[in-house]
Structure formats: C-alpha cells, structure tokens
Structure 1
Amino acid sequence: MVSTYLDYSRITRDLRSSLNRVAQQPQIAREAQYYRENIDRVKTVDAFLDDYRLYSYAMKAHGLEDMTYAKAFMRKVLESDLKDDNSFANRLTDERYRNFAQAFNFSSATAVAQTSAQQDALIGLYNDRINDLDTVMRQEMAYFGAAMDLVTDVDQFLGNEKLRSFAFTVFGLNPKTFSYTEVRNALTSDPATLTANQTAAKTRLTEASKQLTDLGARDTALAQIVSLTAQLAAAPDADKPAIQTKIDEQNAIVTDLDARLPPRDQAPALKTQLSLEVNTLARQISSLDIYIQLASTFNFNADGSVPAGEKAISDEKKALLNEAYVFLRPGVTPSGAARLTGAGALLNKEYYEQKIGSITKVSDLIADNRLLNYIITAFGLPSATTMPSTVENILTSDINDPESYVNKYGGEYNAAYKKMLAAFNLQTDGTLPAGKTAQDADQMKTTSDGYMVRYNDKSDAEDEALVKRFKLLIGTMKSVDELLANNDMKKFMLRAFGLDNEDLSSRTLKRILTSDLNDPRSYANTLRDERYVKLVKAFNFNPDGTLGAPKLAQSEADIMNTAKAYVIAKSRFGTDEEKKVAKVKAQEEAKYYTAEIEKIETLDAFLANRRLVDFVLVGSGIDPGTVKTEYLKDMFTSNLDDPKSFINTDPNGLKYRGIVASFNFDTDGKIVRGEAGQIQTRRGLITTVDLYLNQSLEESEGADNGGVRLALYFKRKAPEINTAYDILAETALFQVIKTAYSMPEGLQNAKIEAQAAYIERVVNIKDLQDPGKLEKLLQRFTALYDVENNTDVSPGLAILSGSGGGGVSAETLLSLSQLRAGGR
C-alpha cells in the first residue's frame, strides 16, 4: 500500500484537480446536478425534508450523514433563528448544526417591502429634504430677485420655468394646467380692465344662478301639483279643501314663473346650458382674482415689454412676493399645513418686533392673529386650545393676587403662563402704565428667543409621528397596491424624493415601483429622472407588485454570517482580556459593515471601499495586505460554474469561492436580486456543493487509508479551530494531534483540562491558521501514521466511518460536552 504521506501529498499537491476528479464521477455528478436543478424549487422545510435526494445530499455535505434519519430534530435546526442566541441550533454544542441551518433561509422571510437600511435611507431623505427647505427657498428667492431684474418682456418671464414656478406658487396657479395665453393677456392688461371684466362676470353669474334657481323652483312646484292632485283624489271630503288650497298656491307659483321663464319644453336644455355657464363663470371669476393680482404685481406694457427705465417688478413688490412665497411654498407638514421654515420664522420675528412697540392695550395684541400666534408659540402653549381670551386673562393677571387667573389656572402650563405675564407690562385693565411700552428690550428678547426655539416644534412632532407610523406600517405591506392605497405612506415617500408636486397617479407610481432597473427599457429608466430611480431602489417589489427579495450586495443572512466570521477571526486568540477588548472593537466594526454593505449597489462600489473589502477578507482568514483590488475584481467577475473561469483555475481560487458566492454580483458587477422565497442563497448552494465534493473526496481517498481521510479532514476543519477544546470535541481532529505528537495513551483517560493543557503545550493553535505550518503538522502526522498503524483496517478509517472503539473515552467526551455547553 502506498504510504499515507505520499497519498496525502499527491492529493493536496493539486487539490483542485483532485476535487474535479471526484466531481466527474457519474454518481456524484448526477447528485450534484439534481441538487442544483431542484433546490430552488423548494419553498418549505417540509418539501425539503420530503425530497430525500436533496435532503441527504445536504446532510452529507455538512458531515451529518448519520443524522439523516432524525427529520424532526433537523426540522428544529432548520427553523432556528440564528440571530437569536437561544434558538435551537445556537444552543447545540456541535457547530455543524448551526452551519447547516446557516446554509438555508427557512427561518427568515426574504421578501420584504424595505430592509432596515432602505427604511433608514428613506427616512433620512425625508428629514434632509425638510432640513434643506430653508436653504432651497433662500436660493429660489435670490434667483427670482436677480433674474427678474434682467427680464425685458413678458415672454422672457413666462418662458423661464424657475421664475414662472416661483410666481405661480405665490398666486396659486397650477404650472401644469395653466393657459399661457390667458396668463400673458393678464400680465399685459390694465388691472382696472380685468376688474371690470370680473364685475361683469359676477353680474352675469348672479343672473344665470337666479334663472337656474327659478327653473328648479318651477319643476319643484309642478311636481308638488302632481303629488297633491293624487292626494286630493284619494282624500276624505273633509281634507279636500286644505289640499286644494295647497294646489292653488303651487299653481300661483307656476303661473308667476311661467311669465318670467322660457316655455317649459325648453327648460331641460336651458338648465344644462345655464349649469355649464355658471361653472364657467365661477372658474373665470376665480381666475380673474389671480389675474388682477398678477397685473397689479408685475409691470408689463400692452405689447409685453417692460416700460423704459423700469423693472418688470419693483423691489417693494418683490419683497412682498418673497414673504408670500415663504409662507406658501410647497413644503407642507404631515397634516397638510404650510410648513414654517427658518426664513418664515425670521419674517414673523421681524413683524412682531416692528409691531409690538405700537401695542397700547391687550385687545390690540390679541386682535392681531400673527402677534397672538407668535406669543403663544414663544411660551410653549398649545396652539389648538389656547384661545385669545386665555392670553388676555394671563396678561391682565396680578401676580401678587393668589386668586388671579395666572395663579389659579393653567395646570401643567402654569409656569408658562407666569413667564408670559412677566414678559409684558400690561396692567390688570389691559392698558399700559404711563411711559411704558408693552415690552422692554429684555422682554422682547425673551419672547423672540422662545419663538425661534419653538416655532417648528409642532411640525417636528408631526414628522416624528409620521416616521413612527411609516416604520410601523411598512412591515405590514404585502404589495405595492397596499402601499399606494395608504395616502400617508404615499405622501411620505413622495416628499422624501421631492416628488410630492408631480401629480403622479397610483397607476404611474406602480409602474415606477415595479420597474427593473437593470433593464434600460424599464419604465423608471425611460423617465430619465434620477429621483425615480432612487424611489425604485428604496423598495423591493416584483414586476407583478408583490414583495420581492431585497436587492442587496449580500443577503441579510450572509451579512450576518460575514460579520460573525470577522468577530471570531479578530477575537479568537490571546489572553482573555485581549480577546475581550478585541471582540468589542470587532463588534463595532461589524456594525459599520452591516450598515454600509446594504448601501452598496455595484461591485466597483464595494471594491472601492477597502474597509469593507478588508472586513470580508479577514473574516475569511485571508491577509488583506496580500490581496490587490484588481485580483479581487477578477475573482468576483468569474463564473463560479465555469471550470475555465479565473476563480476556478487560479491556484488560490478555492479560498475565494465562498467569498464570491456570498455576494449577489453578476459577472458585470451588478446586483442580481434573488427570487422571493428562495430557501438557499448562492453562497449556501456553492458551500453545500463544495462541501459535498470535499466529503466525497475524503471518503473515496480514505476508503483504503484512513490516515489520508483524517489528514484531509483536519486540513479542511483547521480554520475553524480556536482552542484545544475544539480539537478534543472531535475524535477525528484529536486522532491527528495524538498521532502527530505521540500523545501517551494513558492521557486519554485523564481529566479534560489535562488533555487540553497537553495539546496547548505541543501545538500553538494559532499556527493552524498558517497554511505553511499546518502543512508541516499534517506531513508529520502522515509520516507517523503508517508507523503507528500496521493493521488492515486503520483506526482513522474506523473513526470517520463511525465504527470501532478507538479515540477519546465516553467519559472524556461527556466532560467536554458539559464544559462547552457551560461556556456558551
């Protein structure tokens, strides 16, 4: 028989070729093909467990062949939530079960309207847009002021969309439905002429409305006559006189109306005509209100030109427009009211400080709503329930009188009542003392400071409530139709992307949200507006409107697994204190990775963030300093299923298959969305197939020589070994160390701590992560294996095949199991 050392060296000299040889064996190739072709069809644990070929293939791949019969047990493993430390799989001391559950997605719903990252991004956009309103508004006002000074004719003004939009916002004109001709005519008309036209329209509206009312009254009277006549015929003689009187009254009404109205046969057509005319006149009058304001604000001649030596709008009118724009600009609160920005608050402050000096009695103060609302806000009183009379009672209280209003009322707002009273100098009769003003400089400052702090409290509270409601409801959405049917949700997302003024129908929004952004011909892409692309990216809807899997660079399960691998890699060695410190730092880095990887949209974006790349490499046991970005790109753009691709021909490609498979990039570097309900990610599939090949290689090569199988198994499991107890926990791993270092037989029956101490003396566990040092250990093992085992059936083969009695004693294994269980 060829020596164990030579057999092992032959196999590992080109491990890829050895694995390819196994993969080409008919039985293994058939099973792999069946697994690849059918695993995506499985949607439930029951379907998986019922397909013996799939189930047994996966069990063998993960080294759990001997547990294939235990379906009830494995169901609990597969249904475990790996994010929960107390879940069934996480409580088992054998990591194989956790790894098995990790290869599937049965415990998590991959179809979700938004991931936490998408939700945070959307809410962030909403908040940013609110925060930017003031800046944007100031920019628009500055542009309007400067650009209007350059306007020389009306068409130049109306042809500039930004100028037109600014003015239309103030005057309430719809920029999408306005009549260019009507607006131009208004701007070049004399306001007096427009006023006269409006007066004529109002007169005609009154006449038409009166005639329409009379026609209706005649119809009502005629109907009454018919009804009363029927009653008269059926009524007792005693009641007939009263009914006849009513009929006579209705006949008199009809006679009077007939004299003033067109013949009855013309009434239906006339009513239709009048109804149309009334509606048209009402719209015309409303438009004329706007047109009169336009003509009065802007300065254009009848031919559309700006008068010589003048501007299209005076500085005074410009200032008035700016103020109106601040209070009217689209930027509404969740309740639908106009949102007050910093610019608006400053205008209110300026108005207050200009007006308060002229106030001489409390009635003047509360009669001005702008002043009243200012002080109510400044002192933090509830605007909805604080009446003018409340403010009057506060400001006319005597602070020294225990029975006065400010000392008896207010409840939780009593302190605010007293602060408001202290900020004014009014007497109990509501007037000012001689020589006093309503507020001195310090009192005015107190009031204004309070206002500037509190002016947006209500809007902020509404925003906070809206965000909270959005977070609560988005998790309940099962389709795009449900999302669009909820007006609050729809308004929230549209505001976030600056689309709230685009008049988008639900049908159009559905077409946008169900677009495939990888298809340049999809609806969202054809709109050529980045806002729509961002909107699509914020949600996960399939083309039919149902929930889809998140379009992430990594699935949520793979993100969690990558993060865990990194934390383990960074905190696996050192003293207890060193490991504790390292673990805390690693967990912080894992938070960064978890948050940032969900924002990655392309392979190039991922590779450009070396912090993310290094995180993945460290978690996979690869030194980032030895890996160049271009090399990684070649790996990621390889076809994992093509034996001739770079990743499958490069000498180190085997180390990168799991990494590449854990990401959802296609060969072009774009993210490919997984199928909703898919129970195994690409990483899970590749890992399962690769593990199956490794198991098959170890099994076939070790059929005649158990030492080869032991060495191959140890080589595969070495990256997962963190302590001496991990070696003691698996008989096969322990057999390699025992043989390689000629461990005394008597030590097998010693206490578990003594055995661990021995292993730690002869093996530096950290060296097992070094490929060169690991290879030397396995060369030592394979050389000594033949010396120690001169039997036809080696102990190594017996261990891995589950037969024979060699290895760690049952008592030792029991002690180890209890030790590991207690340490979790």
Structure 2
Amino acid sequence: MLSTFTSYQLIARDIPKAIDRIEAEPITKRDTDYYLANIGSVKSIDDFVKNDRLFKYAMKAFGLGDMAYAKAFMVKALKEGVSDSDSFANKLSDKRYAEFVSAFNFAALGANATSYNSAQQGVTNNYGLQVSVGPSQNGFTYYKGETSYYLSNISNVKSIDDLMGNDRLLTYAMAAFGLDADAEPAATVRAMLEGGVTDPNSPANTSTNKGYAAFVAAFDFAQYGDQATARDAVQQAVPKAVIGGTGLLLVKPTAQYIKGEADYYAANISKVKSIEDLLKDKRLLTFAMAAYGLDASTQTTKQIRTMVNGGVTDPLSPANLLTDKSYANFVSAFDFAQYGDQTITRDAVLKTTPKLYTTESSLGLIKPNADAVQAETSYYLANITKVKSVDDLMADSRLYNYALSASGLDPATTNKDLVRDVLEGGVRDPASVANKLSNKAYARLATSLNFEAYGEAATTRSPSQQPVVDKYMRQTLEEDAGKTNEGVRLALYFERKASTITNWYDVLADTALASVVRTAIGLPDSFAAADIDKQAQAFDAKLDLTDFTDPAKLEKFLTRFTSLWEINHPTSTAQTSIGVLFAQPTTVGISTDLMMAMQKLRF
C-alpha cells in the first residue's frame, strides 16, 4: 500500500485530472446529469427538500452528506437565509451551513434561487431599482423644475439685458460653469458678457476664474447677437453640465429610443383635435405628459380630463390650484379649453413639448417608461450571455451602458479606462481598484460582472448549478481518498481550505483543519482539549499563517503533515520474510519514499 505522502502527491500534482476521473465514473456522471437537468426547476425550499436525489447531491457537495437526513434543520437554515448576521445558518460555528444557504438563497432570491446569475438577474434587478429611485433622490424635483424652466424660456433671451433681467435663467446658466450668480456682482457679469471672448484681452479671457471664459463663450452675444441662445452650447451643453454636476444617479433611455418616441409624436400629434383624441393615444399622452414631469401611467383618465378641461385662464382652475405646477405647465401647452382644435398648431405643442422631452430624457430627468425599460432589459438578457470578457462587454455600447446604469454609474461621464481597470481587477483583492475607490458603485459593477473571478463563465454562472457540481466532484475526490487513507483526505481538504483561513480560530473551529495543524507541529490529539486561546497561541508560535497563501510553502507544510501522519498511522503492513529479501530497505511502517521525503524536511 502506498504511503500517505505518495498517495497525496499522486493526486495533488494534477487535481483536475483526478477530478476528471471522478466525473467519468458512471454513477457520478448519472447523478450529476440529473442534478443539472433538474435543479433549475426547483422554485422553493419545499421543492428542494422533497427531491431527495437533488437535496442529497447538494448536501454532499458542501460536505454535509451525513446531515442530509436532518431536513427540518436545513429548512430552518434555508428559510432564514444569510442576509441577517443573526440568522440560524450564520450563528452556527460550522460555516459550511452558511455556504450552503448562500448557494441556495431562497430567502433572498425566492424562485430565482436556483437559476440566479449576478450578471443577469442581478444587473437587471439593479437597473429597475435605479430607474425607480432616480426621481426620489434629494434635489431631483428642484433640478427637474429648473431645467424645464430653462429649456422653455432660454430661446426667448435675445440679448444680455434679457439674460440679466431673468435671475432664474441667469443662475441656472452660470451654474453650468461653476459660477454663483448670487455671489458675483451684476456689473462684473455684464462686463464679462459685453467683452465676449474674441479678444484675448477681454475681461472673460483675462479673468483668473476660467469659468467666466467658458460661460461667455456659450452666451456670446458679442459675436452671435440675438442668435446666441439658439446654439447647442446653450440649448444642450448648459443643461447637461448642470445635471452632470448635481451628483444625481439617473438612468437615461437610449438615443434611439428617444428619437423613436419623438418621431412618433411628430408624425401623429396633428391628428389630435381634442383632449379625447389625446387620451385615446397612450403613447402620445405619455410623451406629452412626461415632457412636463408627469407620469401618465399613474394618472386616471378622469383626472387628466378634469385638469385639461379646466384650463389655466381661471386662477382657481384645478391645475392652477395644485402646488406642483407640472400640471399647470402641461395644461398651458395643451389648452384645449382656450384654443380648441387649434391647440396642436401652437409652438408650445409642436416645438416646446418635443424639445423638453428629448432634452430632459437624454439627461435622465424623465423616468424611462415601462416600454423603454423592457426594451433595454430584453436586449440585455438576450445578449449578455454571449459576453465572455471585459472586451466583449465594452464592445457593445448598449450592454455597457445598461450595466453601468444598473450599478449607479453614468455611462456618459464614467471613464472607460477606469471601468476596464475595475472589471479586470475584480473584488477578491482588498487592494483592487474597485475596492479602493470611495464610490462603491464600482465594486457593485465588478461584483455583478466578475470576470476576474469567473472568466468566461461570469455571465452564465449560477451559484446553485455548476459551482455545486464542482464542489461535489472535489468532495467526492476527497471522500474516495479517505476510504483508503484518512490522512490523504485531510491533506486534500486542507489544501482546498487553506486560502480561506484568516486566523487561527478559523482553524480551531474546524476539527479537520485543526487535526492537520496539530499533526504537522507534533502536538497530540489530546491538545484539542486545552484552552482555545492557548491552542491558538501554540499554533501561532510554530507557524506563520501567511504561509498558507504561498503555494510553495503550503506544499512544504502538507509534505510535513503527510510524513508525520504516516509515522503516526502507518499504511505499510509488516512484511513477510520473502518480501524483505526483495524489498528496498525500510523501517516497519515507513516506506522508502517517505524516508526520502522526510530527509528533505527541516523541522
């Protein structure tokens, strides 16, 4: 019979090959095929524990095969989950239970527990959450209102006097360039605008505050006259800069979607002759109301009809009586009460409404409707599983934008090189880029799309499927080894768990790990009865915990363990006289290869 050292080395030198042999065994293959074919159909804890074959397979994968009978115990653990630090599984000293519950997390994921993938369900769930929370953020209503006011009125500004005469517009415009209208003297602002930026020696160009030069370049009445505010630098860039500086996390529909909605509006609004016509076309109604900060899906037909029919001429009309002026602005544009079937010929309907919708949507100030969210989510789910690398993700702007938005990052302003570094670095290393950034949205992104840890499987991996199979194979390998030599099983187990050990109490909490360490440093099994702190001190005095993360040092440690295990638990039997004649020299119970291995050790 081979020694503990030799048996361990034969397996450890090529564990993947050893596992391949396990996978090829007919019984193992049959059980695994059944597991993978059926685990995705399990939608509840009851489904799980009632399928004895699936449940036993899963329990064995986590080294809990001998507890497969204790279904009531496991049901309690599964029901409480692992989100709460005081949950049943988390309070158990044996962390295998928490690992099991984490893999089959019905408490947190419900029916998706056996099919959940962080790059799929995780990202789409977060995307929906980001869409929902956007309008509820502090400051959203204020900036939405100020932006709507700016977009509705800035085209009326034809001169410096017009701009200086409207404090609200001036404040918004200057804020885009980091300037505080309340803090800057009006005379200074006027002098800057009148000087323009064509002359290198103009007040704006010579000011130490470079925000002034940028502000005047946008509102360059000196060069463009009454057309200054018709330019994109005023109409598009200013709102973008203001919203970009607010810190609001907003999900923006795609440009293609926005254009599609605007095109539909332009092609069909002329058919509307009354409020009833508008109410009949939900797509037009949604577009029109969204432009003024209203969600048509949350309003009843009766309420909308009442508001519009009341008009805005009467100060006591329903729309005017509301504190929130969104309805009043909407009714003012679609004032069928005053303009009748000529309402849709007015600039407020033909120009201002689509302008508000397209600009505010592109800024994320209009919450994407259900159709927009569904369209992007469907595209994402249909294509994310084809993504096998960071390069693949970044090559598809639609997937990339969706993933970043879901994590609370703005695709338009987030540095792509930084995103690449975040994704390539992952989150396993505390010193990774994602973990070191103060904005935890990056860590969320790297966790959801964990290419660093899972490679090509990052977008398809489900914790309850292939990872469980991988654990099952490794567990079977160790159990099979233990049938002939328990020391080999212990060595393989320690090799697997070594990287997860953070302190000596982790070792002492696991009887198998503790047994390996005691054997390796020559302590008797009876030492396990000593005070727990004294045991930890004894281990620390003999070994450096960081050695377990160094493959070469770990190998040396396990060589020492298997050698000493062989001395304490000899695998060789007493040889017959004829055997002695032909055998290599050996001490009873210790094989020649073990003797040679021990010669290389330094204790």
TM-score by length of structure 1 reads 0.38
TM-aligned CA deviation for residue 121 of structure 1: 4.2
1:331-730 correspondence to structure 2 within 5 Å: 332=292, 459=324, 497=361, 512=375, 515-517=378-380, 596=407, 608-611=419-422, 613-618=424-429, 656-657=453-454, 661=457, 663=458, 665=459, 682-730=462-510
Distance in 1 (CA, whole Å) between partners of 2:293 and 2:132 is: 20
Q: Distance in 2 between matches of 1:623 and 1:764?
A: 29
Q: 1:754 to 1:773 in 2, by over 3 A?
A: same
Q: Is the 8 A contact 1:48 1:54 kept in 2?
A: yes
2:98 aligned partner:
98
Structure 1 range deviating more: 14-23 or 610-619: 610-619
Hey, what does 1:15 align to over in structure 2? 15
Question: Which string of whole-angstrom CA distances, capped at 9 and with x for unpartnered residues, describes residues 329-354 of structure 1?
Answer: 99535599xxxxxxxxxxxxxxxxxx
SS at 2:484 equivalent:
coil
Amino acid paired to 2:427? V
Structure 1 equivalent of residue 213 of structure 2: none
Q: 2:147 aligns with which of 101, 109, 132?
A: 132
Cα displacement (A) at 1:534 = 12
Determine if contact 1:49/1:55 at 8 Å carries over to the other structure.
Answer: yes
Question: What's the offset of the Cα at 1:711?
Answer: 0.2
Equivalence for 1:306: none
1:510 positional shift: 9.7
* Contact in 1 for aligned 2:507/2:513 (Cα 8 Å): yes
Quote how far apart the aligned CAs of 1:22 are: 1.1
CA distance in 1, matches of 2:230, 2:480: 88
* 1: CA distance, partners of 2:542 / 2:377: 61
Q: Which residue of 2 aligns with 1:66?
A: 66
* Structure 1 residues 751 and 623: alpha-carbon distance in aligned structure 2, compared to 1, 3 A threshold: farther
* Separation (CA, whole Å) in 2 of partners of 1:17 and 1:624: 35
Kindly indicate whether the alpha-carbon contact (under 8 Å) linking 2:422 and 2:432 is maintained by their aligned counterparts in 1: no
- Deviation, 1:709, is 0.6
Distance in structure 2 (CA, Å) of the matches to 1:49 and 1:620 = 40
Residue type at the aligned position of 1:713: Y
For residue 713 of structure 1, report the CA deviation from its aligned partner: 0.4
Q: CA deviation at 1:56?
A: 0.2
Paired position in structure 1 for 2:227: 146
- 1:107 — aligned with what? 107
Alignment correspondent of 2:133 = 120
Distance 1:88 1:606 in 2: 43
CA separation in 2, counterparts of 1:600 and 1:92?
A: 43
Distance 2:545 2:539 in 1: 9
- Counterpart-to-counterpart distance in 2, 1:501 and 1:623: 28
Look at both structures and tell me which one has the larger radius of gyration over its CA atoms. 1
1:83 aligns with 2:78: no
Structure 2 stretches lacking a partner, 5+ long: 113-124, 159-224, 232-264, 275-287, 297-312, 328-356, 384-395, 437-445, 574-603
AA aligned to 1:65 is G
| Structure 1 pair 771–726 and aligned structure 2 pair: CA distance change class (3 A) | same
Local SS of the residue matching 1:79 = helix
2:558 corresponds, among 760, 778, 782, to: 778
- 1:685-711 CA-to-partner distances (Å, cap 9, x unmatched) read 222111101101111122211111110
Output the CA distance in 2 between the equivalents of 1:109 and 1:93: 24
1:624 CA drift (Å): 11
User: Secondary structure, in 3 states, of the residue corresponding to 2:427?
Assistant: helix
Following the alignment from structure 1 to structure 2, what is the Cα–Cα distance between the partners of residues 91 and 148?
65
Query: What amino acid is aligned across from residue 521 of structure 2 in structure 1?
Result: Y
Q: Distance in 1 between matches of 2:21 and 2:135?
A: 51
- Alpha-carbon distance in 2 for matches of 1:771, 1:41: 40
Match for residue 43 of structure 2?
43
SS at match of 1:63: coil
CA distance in 1, matches of 2:153, 2:492: 70
Aligned CA distance change for structure 1 residues 135 and 613 (closer, same or farther; 3 Å):
farther
Larger CA deviation: 26-35 vs 108-117: 108-117
With over 3 angstroms needed to count, the CA separation of the structure-2 counterparts of 1:515 and 1:743, relative to structure 1, is closer
**Matched residue of 1:108: which SS?**
helix
- Does the 8 Å CA contact 1:597/1:612 hold for their aligned counterparts? no
The 1:780/1:176 distance shift into structure 2, 3 A limit, reads: same
- Cα deviation per residue 1:158-205 (whole Å; 9 max; x = unaligned)? xxxxxxxxxxxxxxx9984449xxxxxxxxxxxxxxxxxxxxxxxxxx
Structure 2 CA distance for aligned equivalents of residues 31 and 146 of structure 1: 75
In structure 2, how many angstroms separate the alpha carbons of the residues matched to 1:623 and 1:505?
31
What does the per-residue CA deviation read over 1:420-457, in whole Å, with 9 as the maximum and x for residues that have no partner?
A: xxxxxxxxxxxxxxxxxxxxxxxxxxxxxxxxxxxxxx
What are structure 1's unaligned runs of at least 5 residues?
A: 151-172, 180-278, 281-327, 337-368, 374-382, 386-457, 463-492, 521-532, 539-550, 554-593, 626-632, 639-654, 667-680, 794-824
Q: Describe the shift of the 1:713–1:505 C-alpha distance in structure 2 as closer, same or farther (beyond 3 A).
A: closer
Question: How many Å separate the matches in 1 of 2:431 and 2:11?
Answer: 23
Structure 1 residue 36: Cα displacement: 0.6
- How far residue 615 of structure 1 moved from its aligned partner, in angstroms, is 4.5
Q: State the shift of 1:741 in Å.
A: 0.8
Secondary structure of 1:702's aligned partner: helix
Relative to structure 1, is the Cα distance of residues 731 and 175 closer, same or farther in structure 2, using a 3 angstrom cutoff?
A: closer
- Counterpart of 2:77 in 1: which secondary structure? helix
CA-CA distance at 1:683 after TM superposition: 2.8
Q: Which residue identity is paired with 2:466?
A: I
1:788 aligns with 2:568: yes
Cα distance in 2 between the residues matched to 1:598 and 1:510: 17
Q: Alpha carbon RMSD of aligned pairs, Å?
A: 5.5
Quote how far apart the aligned CAs of 1:52 are: 0.9
Distance 1:622 1:704 in 2: 46
Work out whether residues 514 and 536 of structure 1, in 8 Å CA contact, stay in contact via their aligned partners in 2: no
1:132, CA displacement in angstroms? 3.0
Deviation of 1:552 (Å): 6.5
Q: Which residue pairs with 1:767 in the alignment?
A: 547
Distance 1:505 1:728 in 2: 55
2:128–2:373 Cα contact (<8 Å) kept: no
Determine the C-alpha separation between the residues in 2 that align with 1:775 and 1:736. Answer: 13
Query: With structure 2 as the length reference, what TM-score do the two structures score?
Result: 0.50
Which of 512, 534, 537 is 1:754 aligned to?
Answer: 534
Q: Matches of 1:14 and 1:743 in 2, distance apart? A: 30
Give the direction of change, closer, same or farther, for the CA distance of 1:535–1:332 in structure 2 (3 Å limit).
farther
8 Å Cα contact 1:62/1:96 also seen in 2: yes
SS at match of 1:617: coil
Task: Decide whether aligned partners of structure 1 residues 750 and 50 sit closer, same or farther in structure 2, where only a CA change above 3 A counts.
Answer: same
Per-residue deviation, 1:57: 0.4
Give the whole-Å Cα distance in 2 for the aligned partners of 1:735 and 1:514. Answer: 51
d(CA) in 1 for partners of 2:131 and 2:63?
A: 38
Aligned to 1:529: none
2:6 and 2:399 mapped to 1: Cα distance? 59
Q: Which has the higher contact order (CA 8 A, sep 6+)?
A: 2
1:496 to partner: Cα distance: 6.9
Are the counterparts in 2 of residues 497 and 535 from structure 1 also a CA contact under 8 Å? no
Distance 2:155 2:568 in 1: 87
Q: Does residue 56 in structure 1 map to residue 53 in structure 2? A: no
- Give 1:622 deviation, angstroms: 13
How far did residue 778 of structure 1 move?
0.7
User: In 2, Cα distance between the equivalents of 1:760 and 1:623?
Assistant: 32
Aligned residue number for residue 426 of structure 1: none
Aligned residues of 2:93 and 2:509 also touching (Cα < 8 A): no
5 Å-filtered alignment, 1:281-360, equals: 332=292
Q: Which residue of 2 aligns with 1:27?
A: 27
